[in-house]
Structure 1
Amino acid sequence: MSSAHRRKKNPRWYFSLRSPYSWFAYRDLSEKHPDVLDRIEWIPYWEPDEESTRLLAGAGVTLPVMPMHRSKNFYILRDARRWAHARGWQVTWPVDRAPHWEVSHLAYLAAEERGLGRQFVDLAYRARWNRGLDLAERSTIAGIADELGLDPSVADAVDDPDLRIRGVECLIAAYHDDAFGVPFFLHGREAFWGAERVGAFVAAVRGEEWDGLSDAPFAAPPFTAVVPDQGDPSDRRER
């Protein structure tokens, strides 16, 4: 689907299987506002590998991603645990030894082609945030595919040149939609960034007036968690 189409008024969200905040937004949408989740377009967004970066450059696109400062990385670790703790959600922080996000996000596109994209996302989030599994491991993706009744070759979607092009088109759409982090929601000309803006986006999609309340658990008590040493953070912008 072209970026021009995505810039029309259809409500949509850019999500990442990597981001804890995308997971929070997904859970709030699926558990509290499933009608809205059914009505919006789902577009994956991730930090591109060398090949995707080359294809993006050929289209004149440079995504607004940059290395994250170590202190911010550890803040996100603790904040994400605090958020999950406040909601009573189980969370197991994954350790990504060699992140390669095309593996899972192109597999999502392969599942979407078979009408199981939403189910794939649900199982991928469970694998990552409840079981601490590495979504860059093809065996993890093959296991998800098996649960969905899909051919395990879905795990090799990263090697499919057509899916690679589709994935790059998603990233180009994000660029033209001025998406600079995830989760990122759009309704008409209105953009909403961050899991705490789910309520505002939902109100916009339903044509209701937003009550001004955030979805973030600001009233949650401080929660300090021990996090594993993951070396130098190599991550990017997210909410």
Structure 2
Amino acid sequence: MSPRRPPRLYFSLRSPFSWMALRRLEERLPNARELIEFVPFSEPDAESAAALEAAGGEFHYVAMSKAKHLYILNDTKRLAAKYGYAMKWPIDKGDEWWDLPHLAWFKAGELGVERAYYDAVMAARWERGENICDPEILRRVCDEAGLDGALLVAAPDEEHIRKQGLEALMRIYEDDIFGVPYFRLGRHRFWGLDRLDDFLDALEGTLAPAADDPLAGVPRELRERTGSMDHDTAGGCG
């Protein structure tokens, strides 16, 4: 029998809903990255799109209308205030090179600095409104975080990193992912920030508590209250 697939989260460095979902996920489940497979969801550039087509896949995402964009602006502002997140909306012009920061995420994982990279890039985009698709800006953001900015920005030039990006695109295609955040747990699917609680409820049922866990058998709600003094960090489709 083949091993069961781990829970999977499709995320994007572009989406405000993905950004907030990951913050809330890790507030609720600090070891989320140990339990869940993270897969980046990014609009492919010409090279990635050609490779995806050659592999028999396609990208399901459809650009949103102006009306939907305006709604998301208001909705995001409301949600950020609700969760207490400081936010500055970045001004995207529509021609951003989204493969750059997402392929750099793969490179960061190869270098063992995936978490530091993600935190630095998300702070730049959603707290300072910076254009993380600009190579010079991304390099500076990485350098200021103590990372090798030149190496990370050069990620799209590395064939094996492009291959990892293609593999992620094929997963997106095969799993019929059309927006983020998107959670998968076995045959169960949960799309959107407002489905995070449902995903966590389903995930909890699959996690067997350790034999020496003093909170084994305690409902998640009580566990969260019990640990609330120890975790003081912050943290639809877009």
Residue 134 to residue 94, structure 1, CA distance change in 2 (3 Å): same
Match of 2:13 in 1: 17
CA 161–205 in structure 1, closer or farther in 2 if over 3 Å, else same: same
Backbone CA RMSD of aligned residues: 2.2
Displacement of 1:40 in angstroms is 0.6
Q: Is the 8 A contact 2:120 2:142 kept in 1?
A: no
1:197 alignment partner in structure 2: 195
If the length of structure 2 is used for normalisation, what is the TM-score?
A: 0.81
Per the alignment, in what secondary structure is the counterpart of residue 89 of structure 1? coil
The Cα shift of 1:148 comes to 4.3
2:66 aligned residue (70, 78, 84)? 70
Q: Which residue does the alignment assign to 1:165?
A: 163
1:30 aligned residue (15, 26, 30): 26
* Structure 2, unpaired ranges of 5+: 207-218, 221-235
From 57, 77, 81, the counterpart of 2:77: 81
| Structure 1: runs of 5 or more not aligned | 212-236
**Quick one: distance in 1 between partners of 2:149 and 2:163?**
21
User: Whole-Å Cα distance in 2 between the matches of residues 175 and 8 of structure 1?
Assistant: 20
Shift of 1:192: 0.7
Give distance in 2, aligned partners of 1:64 and 1:203: 28
Inter-CA distance 85–120: structure 2 relative to 1 (3 Å threshold): same
Match of 1:44 in 2: 40
- Report SS of the residue matched to 2:31: helix
Q: 2:199 is aligned with what amino acid?
A: F
Give 2:212's aligned residue: none
Q: Deviations over 1:170-211 (max 9, x none)?
A: 010111122111001111111110011111111222217x99
Which amino acid in the other structure matches residue 109 of structure 1? F
Mapping of 1:209-220 within 5 angstroms?
A: none
CA distance in 1, matches of 2:104, 2:110: 10
Q: State the one-letter code of the partner of 1:198.
A: L
Moved more, 60-69 or 182-191: 60-69
* DSSP 3-state at the match of 1:34: coil
Pick one of 87, 104, 125 that aligns with 1:107.
104
**1:67-124 Cα deviation digits (max 9, x unpaired):** 2111001111111111101122111010123311011000100001112212211221
- Partner secondary structure for residue 154 of structure 2: helix
**Quick one: distance in 2 between partners of 1:60 and 1:165?**
15
User: Using a 3 Å threshold, how does the CA distance of structure 1 residues 8 and 63 change in structure 2: closer, same or farther?
Assistant: farther
Q: Structure 1: how far apart are the matches of 2:132 and 2:97?
A: 8
- Whether contact under 8 Å (2:179, 2:237) holds in the other structure is yes
| Aligned CA distance change for structure 1 residues 129 and 80 (closer, same or farther; 3 Å) | same
- Paired AA for residue 79 in structure 1: D
Distance in structure 2 (CA, Å) of the matches to 1:38 and 1:162 = 24
Question: What are the Cα deviations for residues 136-190 of structure 1, in whole angstroms up to 9, with x where unaligned?
Answer: 1112221232244332221121222221121011010111122111001111111
Aligned partner of 1:44: which letter? P
CA distance in 2: counterparts of 1:113 and 1:178, whole angstroms: 27
Structure 1 equivalent of residue 131 of structure 2 = 134
The alpha carbon displacement at 1:238 in A equals 2.1
State the percentage of identical aligned residues. Answer: 39
Name the aligned partner's letter for residue 149 of structure 1: G
Q: For this pair of structures, how many residues does the alignment match?
A: 209
Q: Deviation digits for residues 30-64 of structure 1, max 9, x if unmatched? A: 22221334311111011111111100000111111
